[in-house]
Amino acid sequence: MLPVDIAGWPVLLLRNDEGELKAFHNICRHRAMALVTEPCNKKAIVCPWHAWRYGLDGSLLRTPRVGGDATHSQDGLNRDTLGLMPIRLARWHDMT
């Protein structure tokens, strides 16, 4: 994972489990916290504030204590719509 700043926007570049290059806004969908601040090699993206966990495909995997200390879900919370926001990415002259 590589956090970069493009025109003032925090962007996260990464390769998913299939080796595909992906780009997402480097912002947690819960409290807008920066997700990754240093280059790293991890199997998931975890928000440093409330530990929301995202997959390398940007999907929201876990929402610890979102409904209380022992409750990891909440009525009305749709994980399918709260994944990371993707950014269009393309190769240029076969460069990645």
One pLDDT digit (tens) per residue for the chain, 96 residues: 999 999 999 999 999 999 999 999 999 999 999 999 999 999 999 999 999 999 999 999 999 988 888 888 888 889 899 999 999 998 888 765
CB 33 within 8 A of CB 25: no
Distance of CA 31 to the CA centre of its chain: 13
Task: Give the three-class secondary structure for 19.
Answer: coil
pLDDT computed for residue 10 by the predictor: 98
Q: What is the pTM assigned to this prediction?
A: 0.89
pLDDT computed for residue 36 by the predictor: 98
Q: How far apart are CA 84 and CA 23, in angstroms?
A: 10
CB-side neighbour CA atoms (13 Å) of 46: 10
Q: How far apart are CA 12 and CA 2, in angstroms?
A: 6
Q: How far apart are CA 38 and CA 87, in angstroms?
A: 19
* Structure tokens belonging to residue 4: 């970069």
